[in-house]
Amino acid sequence: METTTMAKPENIGAAAQARQSTDTFPKLLQEHARVRGDRPAMREKDLGIWQTWTWREIAAEVQALACGFAALGLARGDRVAIIGDNRPRLYWTIAAAQCLGAIPLPMYQDSVAEEMVFVLQDAGVKLAVVEDQEQVDKLLEIHDRLPNLEHVVYDDPRGMRHYNQPFLHAAAEVLGSGRIYHDEHPEFFQGQVDGGKGEDLAIMLYTSGTTGNPKGVAHTYNSMIITARNSVQMEGLTDQMEGLTDQEEVLAYLPMAWVGDNLFSYAQSMVAGFCVSCPESSETVMTDMREIGPTYYFAPPRVYENLLTQVTIRMEDASPIKRWMFNYFMDHAKKVGVKIVDKQPVPFMDWLGYQLGNFLVYGPIKNVLGFSRIKLAYTAGEAIGPELFDFYRALNINIKQLYGSTEAYVMVCVQPNGQVKPDTVGTPVPGVEVKIDDNGEVIFKGPGVFHSYWNRPDATAETMTPDGWVLTGDAGFFDDDGHLKIIDRAKDVGKFIDGSMFAPKYIENKLKFFPYIKEVVAFGDKRENACAFINIDLSAVGSWAEKRGLAYTGYTDLAGQDAVYELIRECVEKVNADLAADPRLGNSQIKRFLILHKELDADDGELTRTRKVRRRFIADKYGVLIDALYADVNHCLIETQVKFEDGRVGMVRADLKIAEAKRYPRIAQSAA
Amino acid sequence: MNPNRKIGDVILKAENISMSFGGVKALTNISLEVREHEVLSIIGPNGAGKSSMLNVINGVYHPQEGKVTYKGRTRDKMEPHLAAKQGIARTFQNIALFKGMSVLDNIMTGRNLKMHTNFLQQAWYWGRTQREEIKNRKVVEEIIDFLEIQHVRKTPVGRLPYGLQKRVELGRALAAEPTLLLLDEPMAGMNVEEKQDMCRFILDVNDEFGTTIVLIEHDMGVVMDISDRVVVLDYGKKIGDGIPEEVRQNPAVIAAYLGTSH
């Protein structure tokens, strides 16, 4: 029953008494140090060996760090920027800033200096805590434009020996001065912690901003802690799982600036008391995953996709016996796996086969992927392909989609256990109400709703109604089972000349489910039909080409080959056949497409840092190509600027072919 | 360039080196000095004698004439193993790693001179050998961390891309904790990004450990950017020696090398 997964708002408020002492993260941290002081709270791999900190140790580190920041002049209400990969000290910085009542502001570590200026200025950041020399260099580059920035603290001293700017401090130095400060002012720290209240601002997260400047989403402790607590309990309300406990293991590998990481690696850990591990480097995540064996995991669909692609590619190189075993048992899992996972009855022989497969294939695959102990895996951000989804579910991995936003502190909808459908994002989480407004836009209300946009009362008023409903900007509807289905961004949904609906994301996602296609941008608003730009997936198409003996030198060369165009055309036509059956989207079939000569890249401004397509920017930049798609030509010359990782700029020139795809008669229409 | 780094006294001095292979005169009467903590580049067109000069310094070749003074001691014949013992390490133009061994093991081989247990102790392992292994493994892990190759720690070297293999080779040379590091075309065949990484590592090594570096390189941009001094060879003769600016303006150098396209 649905009511079993819905906690009533009164229930959430019932335990308020018990929580009086833990209404902020610093108080929660002290609580953990008391209750489970010797349990691991955080791990990091250093020199190839996992180092562990217990809750008690972390509480002590955070205290020293906070006092060190206080010695540098950080005070209640100040903003602290945090820039770097997932490092324990950077997470402690969040807690330390919160101890003092300052507002931590994690930023994307791969942004170039110019992109950081706006956020640092907008938030009036006073203290920046960064990972290493690379980030320090960026801040020095823009330092003269940041009058509010008083101090920069760096974690890793490597290469920093000769920097003598007086405002630069090593983290070790700050910790040292913090301990001295605490000795001199023994009452200070606890006073600051006790002075924090649930309604204080606890964090600021800048939205990546597909249009315009990013906005700082400010959350209070209440919205974060209640959301984290609800989501932790929610997963425990069904009979088959005990929920998230302090025994969970989580790998913190997604950008700290992203709200999801803040919830999964910080807030939930602080609420449930589980251990968070930081990978050795961003390249070692696969190995670290395997070594840690997380029990709870979040990844955007593309990570699951990459894992599956890797498994597939490696199986193609395996010996014939292994390959046969893999194919045989994977087929079996696809047939009965999902049923067995959902505890539906299956014939005994099928069950036996699945157990054998588990021993021979599924178990070993999960072990290689680091999924052996997984209890719960979330995915969100983009639509996930049904095949991909079923692959993991068939392996008995409880993967579920969730729907959320920075403004909701992630949680809006989650697929309930046992009711997982690939094409929906599930039902509203406890305490959250979701409605579709008159324009077809999804709106929600709940405890996790953000406080405001920093310095932007106008934008806050635009997004949040006076009675607390938040506009998501997504178009969607509830299906017959009460599950929410998201179609596209409301502002991106357009109309063809004949008046039928054009939902670009819907088409793009369908295409992106093919392993050969990495990125798609569809056009069609106020046009007669749909056309698309396509990015091929270099590793998948590359290995496809190798098997056929096709020589290629790189992305541009491969993307331009006729055989590759044929391959992609097949994919497009399959999607067209699929779309033809949909009564509302039949006209969205793709008429003409081209394969872009370069991969869309966040460094060129074509994608956001979270890899979402910036539609308007692309439409401007590649206007020539769009015109060519709708003109009567079969190729088009284009010259574009690309930015290399070192910041230099170069030109890429290419003559792109334009291909036609077969469109199918609209089945639904002819039937009607 | 970092102004705080102190360039010290002459650490290595080659005087009037001449060397020929049969009728080919590889090096003719070449003298050069290497000062402590500096980055010295040797440049010159193909066949100018650059690699021969490195081979003379670490004792692979024995010149017919001239002598090499290293750390105040002059030897008639430097031998590679003696050079290694005295703190000279090098990398090679063609990568010379053990392809089937992991990155970790390859770098570990660079610690060979620092290990003192014998064959029997190693066969037994526990006790002294184990302690020695742990101590050396720590140094190797620090190098892996320094060179940012954690993600390939256990990957066989043969499966790595070229740029990474070069980095591993640098790691193996560093494992010997050298005072003088000879790099033979460390950036050959690399793309711009890999070159930048390599430059950064070379400068970091020089900066963090104070290692003196002699390198051979073709990429003039790189050479002019990272060197304290540049020595120019042409047909086995030295035609230039000085700070990058001077060398850039030396007419003989321009004629021989910089002015011609290659």
**Annotated domain spans of chain A:** 2-229, 301-372+374-448+473-488, 492-671
From the list A447, A444, A417, A430, the residue with the least C-alpha distance to A8 is: A430
* For residues A110-118, average pLDDT: 89
More confident residue, B48 or A172: A172
Contact yes or no for A276/A91 (Cβ under 8 A): yes
Strand ranges (E), A344-429: 376-379, 399-405, 410-414, 427-428
Tokens of A604: 């060129």
Same domain? B204 vs B74: yes
A153-157, A446-450, A666-670, range with the lowest pLDDT: A666-670
Tell me how crowded residue A360 is: count the other CB atoms within 10 A of its CB: 14
| Chain A residues in contact with B193 (beta carbon < 8 A) | 644-646
Same domain? B122 vs B191: no
- Count CA within 13 A, CB hemisphere, residue B160: 27
For chain A, list residues whose CB is within 8 angstroms of any CB belonging to chain B.
45-48, 158-159, 161-162, 280-281, 283-284, 287, 644-646, 648
Provide the ipTM: 0.79
Secondary structure (DSSP) of A470-507: EEEEEEEEE-TTS-EEEEEETTT-EE-TTS-EE-HHHH
Same domain? B29 vs B102: no
Whether the pLDDT of residue B37 is over 50: the answer is yes
* For residues B59-74, average pLDDT: 88
| Chain A residues in contact with B144 (beta carbon < 8 A) | 47-48
Dist CA A291 CA A279 (whole Å): 10
Contact yes or no for A32/A26 (Cβ under 8 A): no
Question: Which sign does the torsion angle of CA A219, A222, A228, A230 carry?
Answer: negative
Among residues B142, B172, B202, the one where a domain terminates is B172
Distances (CA, A) of B196 to A162, B161, B181, B221, B231: 20, 16, 19, 11, 22
- Would you give the DSSP letter of residue A464? B
From the list B53, B36, B35, the residue with the least C-alpha distance to B44 is: B53
Same domain? B130 vs B203: no
A212-226, A232-246, A336-350, A519-533, range with the lowest pLDDT: A232-246
Q: How far apart are the first and last CA of chain A?
A: 37
Whether the pLDDT of residue A72 is over 90: the answer is yes
Nearest residue of chain B to residue A134 (CA atoms) = B200
Whether the pLDDT of residue B5 is over 70: the answer is no
Same domain? B64 vs B189: yes
More confident residue, A19 or A228: A228
A72-86, A267-281, A302-316, range with the lowest pLDDT: A302-316
Proportion of chain A above pLDDT 90, given as a percent:
44
Dist CA A97 CA A78 (whole Å): 9
Kindly report, residue by residue over A48-70, the tens digit of the pLDDT: 899 999 999 999 999 999 999 99
Nearest residue of chain A to residue B207 (CA atoms) = A159
Whether the pLDDT of residue A670 is over 80: the answer is no
Same domain? B20 vs B141: no
Dist CA A587 CA A590 (whole Å): 8
Proportion of chain A above pLDDT 70, given as a percent:
94
CA angle A382, A383, A385 (to 5 degrees): 135
Q: Quick check: B207 and A162 CB within 8 A?
A: yes
Same domain? B106 vs B76: no
A6-20, A214-228, A437-451, B9-23, range with the lowest pLDDT: A6-20
pLDDT of residue A667: 63
Residues 6+ apart with CB under 8 A from B174: B89, B110, B143, B146, B147, B181, B205, B209, B211
* For residues B105-128, average pLDDT: 88
Question: Which sign does the torsion angle of CA A173, A174, A177, A182 carry?
Answer: negative
Question: For A492-671, CATH number?
Answer: 3.30.300.30
Kindly report, residue by residue over B188-245, the tens digit of the pLDDT: 888 888 888 899 899 989 988 889 999 998 888 888 889 999 999 888 888 888 999 8
pLDDT of residue B259: 56
Q: Out of B150, B192, B204, whose CB is closest to A280?
A: B150
One CATH from 1.10.357.20, 3.40.50.12780, 3.40.50.300, 2.40.10.10 for A2-229: 3.40.50.12780
Kindly report, residue by residue over B118-146, the tens digit of the pLDDT: 888 888 888 888 999 999 999 999 999 99
Same domain? B6 vs B119: no
pLDDT of residue A20: 52
pLDDT of residue A222: 92
Same domain? B1 vs B82: yes
State the average pLDDT for chain A: 86
pLDDT of residue A512: 86
| Chain B residues in contact with A650 (beta carbon < 8 A) | none
Dist CA A291 CA B187 (whole Å): 34
Give the three-class secondary structure for A219: strand
From the list A484, A511, A666, the residue with the least C-alpha distance to A587 is: A666
Q: Out of B2, B151, B208, whose CB is closest to A281?
A: B151
Q: Backbone phi, then psi, for A124, in 5-degree steps?
A: 60, 50
pLDDT of residue B3: 45
Q: Quick check: A48 and B2 CB within 8 A?
A: no
* For residues A181-207, average pLDDT: 93
Q: Quick check: A287 and B151 CB within 8 A?
A: yes
Whether the pLDDT of residue A439 is over 70: the answer is yes
Alpha helices in A470-622 (DSSP H): 504-512, 538-547, 555-559, 562-580, 615-621
From the list A5, A127, A117, the residue with the least C-alpha distance to A66 is: A127
Among residues B172, B199, B219, the one where a domain terminates is B172
The 10 Å CB-count burial string (b at 16+, else e) for A527-549 is: bebbbbbbbbbbebbbbbbeeee
Give the three-class secondary structure for B183: strand
Size of chain A in residues: 672
CATH number of the CATH domain containing B235: 3.40.50.300
Residues 6+ apart with CB under 8 A from A297: A250, A251, A371, A374, A376, A377, A378
Same domain? B53 vs B182: yes
Contact yes or no for B42/B35 (Cβ under 8 A): no
| Chain B residues in contact with A287 (beta carbon < 8 A) | 151
CA angle A369, A326, A399 (to 5 degrees): 40
Range of the domain at B135: 98-172
Integer Rg of chain B from CA: 19
Dist CA A492 CA A213 (whole Å): 19
State the average pLDDT for chain B: 87
Contact yes or no for B102/B55 (Cβ under 8 A): no
Same domain? B110 vs B150: yes
Whether the pLDDT of residue A6 is over 90: the answer is no
Whether the pLDDT of residue B6 is over 80: the answer is no
pLDDT of residue B212: 94
Q: Backbone phi, then psi, for A267, in 5-degree steps?
A: -65, -45
Whether residue B92 lies inside any domain: the answer is no
Domains identified in chain B, total number: 2
Burial of A147 (0-12, 13-18, 19+ CB in 10 A): exposed
From the list A105, A109, A110, the residue with the least C-alpha distance to A127 is: A105
Same domain? B168 vs B182: no
Whether the pLDDT of residue A583 is over 80: the answer is no
From the list A27, A23, A62, the residue with the least C-alpha distance to A197 is: A23
pLDDT of residue B260: 53
Among residues B127, B155, B172, the one where a domain terminates is B172
pLDDT of residue A317: 85
Whether the pLDDT of residue A73 is over 50: the answer is yes
Residues 6+ apart with CB under 8 A from A669: A583, A586
Question: Which sign does the torsion angle of CA A300, A306, A307, A309 carry?
Answer: positive
Kindly report, residue by residue over A9-47, the tens digit of the pLDDT: 444 444 444 445 789 999 999 999 999 999 999 999 988
Q: Out of A47, A281, A648, whose CB is closest to B141?
A: A47
pLDDT of residue A123: 93
Tell me the residue type at A186: P
Report the side by side order of strands in the sheet with A433-436: A433-436, A441-445, A470-478, A484-489
Q: How confident is the model at residue A143 (pLDDT cuts 50, 70, 90)?
A: very high
Whether residue B93 lies inside any domain: the answer is no
Nearest residue of chain B to residue A48 (CA atoms) = B141
Proportion of chain B above pLDDT 70, given as a percent:
96
Dist CA A343 CA A545 (whole Å): 41
Kindly report, residue by residue over B148-159, the tens digit of the pLDDT: 999 999 999 998
Please give, rounded to a whole number of angstroms, the shortest distance from the CA of A598 to a CA of chain B.
Answer: 18
A641 DSSP β-pair partners: A651
Q: Out of A162, A281, A644, whose CB is closest to B4?
A: A162
Contact yes or no for B162/A68 (Cβ under 8 A): no
A298-312, A362-376, A488-502, B131-145, range with the lowest pLDDT: A488-502
Q: Quick check: B204 and A162 CB within 8 A?
A: no
